């Protein structure tokens, strides 16, 4: 097995990793080294959604994060950044905080009441399946390793509360789902893009399609399982190259029925490129095809650009903002074309999934990107954006 990844242990919940592996003792001076958690919780009916992220950038002496809500086409976001060495083992920045209750099973995400935006919440994630370590991300640009990181995701339910302008909504595991991931290593998209390197964007000459999607599933008898879908497809003149295919059905006992291929039949809004729905055909190791129905539940979807993914208004992950900096904004309509481009495509999209083969249906998170043109989908290359 190439690039093996060590087993997950309780210590891997903490923010103390130093290499792209499970708990180990080797370091790097790369300023892009990052340890990060990212999570969402959503009402199954799509009426309300929460977003959360927290990152530790040891070689930048920075910890930053975001927390907010998506309600229809509206999004409210609070961001915070602080000096890391003021509390190197404290996973909190201003009003944003993260707490491990039971390693690999139960964690809490919180946003305290704050003067920046009229939103606060506290939700507890409780797993329905064990965490699953994904394949290692290893990317090169020329001679340099641009990314070398590991990640696990986990699927569960949510409980707690959220307040918007003083109005409280209870979060119940019967009506809400939650997903999270935890990654560490040398990461892409950290800090300002270097200005003194050879110019060129490797994605500029091709189209790029991706989804990353963990989903909480349930059968009519009440038994639960998870579905995970992740592909990256690079398309250019004269070729189609599937760079990444990951996914499978996850069982509460730790079993994993892996998908060896994923063929998407999805549609997107031609202006905002928001996922509408469709199907993904998953091929299992025995050659059987498992067709999953996917439906975008509503316009709700927390745009990760507001959490600095791909940057926002000149600011980026891991950027030094001083001893403590807190800001944010309230956007009334994220579907307005200029706003959609400012926030980028990638967002936590609430989806409903049907799985006739597995006998269940479920709700979860899908992060989609589709760039370039595709006449069959009504997408124009001239209107493409990341």
The pLDDT value given to residue 203: 58
Contact by Cβ (8 Å): 116, 81? no
The residues with which 126 forms a beta bridge, in sequence order, are: 106, 157
Which of 117, 75, 70 is closest to 94 using CA atoms? 117
Quote the pLDDT of residue 24: 32
* Global pTM exceeds 0.85: yes
Average pLDDT of the chain is 91
Look at residue 93 in the predicted model and tell me its pLDDT. Answer: 98
Look at residue 141 in the predicted model and tell me its pLDDT.
74
pLDDT at 98: 98
Q: Residue 350's closest CA among 37, 69, 160, 110?
A: 69
The pLDDT, as a whole number, for residue 336 is 94
| Cα dist from 146 to 32, 138, 187, 245, 351, whole Å | 9, 8, 7, 20, 31
What pLDDT was estimated at residue 26?
35
Three-class SS of residue 382?
helix
Structure tokens belonging to residue 152: 């696990």
Cα separation, 61 vs 192, whole angstroms:
15
Question: pLDDT tens digits for 253-304?
Answer: 999 999 999 999 999 999 999 999 999 999 999 999 999 999 999 988 999 9
- Amino acid 195: pLDDT: 81
> Class for domain 17-192+204-383, per CATH?
mainly beta
pLDDT for residue 238 = 57
Contacts 24+ apart (CB under 8 A), 319-324: 319/62, 319/64, 319/81, 319/191, 319/192, 320/60, 320/61, 320/62, 320/81, 321/62, 321/64, 321/81, 322/81, 322/83, 323/82, 323/83, 323/86, 324/80, 324/81, 324/82, 324/83, 324/93, 324/94
Low-confidence ranges of the chain (pLDDT < 50): 1, 24-26
Segment (H or E) for 227: strand 224-236
- Confidence (pLDDT) at 25: 30
Domain coordinates in residue numbering, the chain: 17-192+204-383
């Amino acid at each position: 097995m190439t690039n093996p990844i060590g087993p997950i242990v309780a210590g891997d919940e903490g923010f103390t990793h130093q290499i792209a592996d499970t708990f180990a003792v080797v370091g790097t001076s790369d300023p892009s080294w990052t340890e990060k958690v990212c999570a969402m919780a959503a009402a199954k009916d799509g009426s309300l959604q929460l977003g959360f992220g927290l990152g530790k950038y040891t070689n930048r002496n920075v910890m930053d994060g975001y927390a907010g809500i998506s309600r229809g086409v509206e999004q409210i976001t609070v961001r915070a950044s602080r000096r890391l060495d003021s509390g190197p083992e404290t996973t909190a920045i201003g009003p944003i905080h993260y707490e491990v209750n039971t390693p690999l099973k139960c964690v809490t995400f919180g946003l305290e009441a704050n003067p920046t935006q009229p939103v606060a919440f506290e939700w507890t994630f409780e797993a329905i399946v064990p965490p699953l370590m994904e394949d290692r991300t290893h990317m090169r640009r020329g001679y340099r390793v641009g990314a070398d990181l590991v990640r696990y995701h986990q699927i569960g339910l949510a409980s707690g509360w959220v307040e918007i302008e003083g109005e409280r909504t209870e979060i119940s595991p019967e009506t809400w789902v939650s997903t999270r991931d935890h990654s560490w290593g040398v990461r892409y998209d950290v800090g300002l893009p270097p200005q003194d390197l050879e110019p060129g964007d490797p994605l500029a000459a091709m189209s790029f399609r991706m989804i990353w999607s963990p989903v909480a599933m349930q059968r009519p008898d009440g038994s639960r399982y998870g579905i995970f879908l992740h592909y990256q497809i690079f398309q250019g003149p004269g070729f189609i190259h599937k760079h990444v295919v990951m996914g499978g059905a996850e069982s509460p006992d730790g079993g994993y029925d892996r998908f060896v291929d994923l063929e998407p039949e999805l549609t997107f809004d031609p202006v905002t490129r928001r996922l509408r729905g469709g199907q993904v055909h998953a091929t299992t190791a025995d050659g059987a095809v498992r067709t999953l129905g996917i439906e975008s539940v509503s316009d709700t979807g927390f745009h990760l650009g507001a959490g600095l993914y791909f940057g926002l208004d000149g600011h980026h992950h891991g950027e030094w903002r001083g001893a403590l900096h807190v800001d944010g904004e309230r956007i009334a309509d994220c579907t307005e074309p200029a706003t959609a481009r400012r926030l980028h495509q990638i967002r936590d999209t609430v989806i409903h999934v049907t799985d006739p083969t597995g006998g269940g249906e479920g709700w979860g998170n899908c992060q989609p990107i589709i760039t370039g043109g595709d006449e069959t989908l009504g997408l124009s290359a001239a209107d493409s954006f990341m």
